[in-house]
Structure 1
Amino acid sequence: MTFKLSLSSVCAAAAIAGVALAAPAAHAGVQAKTKYPIVLVHGFIGFDNILGAVNYFYDVPGTLRNEGATVYVASVNPSQTTEFRGEELIQQMKQWAAKD
């Protein structure tokens, strides 16, 4: 598996996410299927959930998966430097790539 990130792929993923959230999720589809996986990463001081009730990415990962996308949700230290969190992300992406 290859992870490739470009401005066009980020814009495409954002557009797909918007379409997937706007459309009712009646059945599994292929509307969000992409060549490369989608990786969601929280920002500085991000969180997994609030009191177990509200997930950081709400139901975006599930909605995208239901529409055919391969989605990974990264877990990086929310209060470390950008460089540190980037290194954590690289390690997770290597693990995901090794699985496929």
Structure 2
Amino acid sequence: MKVKIFMAVAMLGLLSGQTAAADEGKVLHDESCIACHASRFNGQAEQMYTRAERKKNSYASLKQMVAFCNNQVGTGWFDEEVGLVTDHLNRTYYKFPKP
């Protein structure tokens, strides 16, 4: 019985860690990306990600675009933060298989 309880608690800990990372990617995105994208699309920032002619075709190309924007805008994100934002965008809009 103690083993089952321990395993349940351990799984909850893993899931909460994944949720925290997912939330961090969204926070970084919302703080650094939304204003620019919304200004380009009449307040509809999500159009940056959903319009057919701009949609990326792989997780790798999406990550390259996030890294490009990071450099252009000067957010100063580290690779881990670029990954968190990429994961957020992928989960929310793109649904590419992650390598």
What's the TM-score, normalizing by structure 2?
0.30
Bigger CA radius of gyration: 2
Which of the two has greater strand per residue?
A: 1
What's the TM-score, normalizing by structure 1?
0.29
Which of the two has greater helix per residue?
A: 2
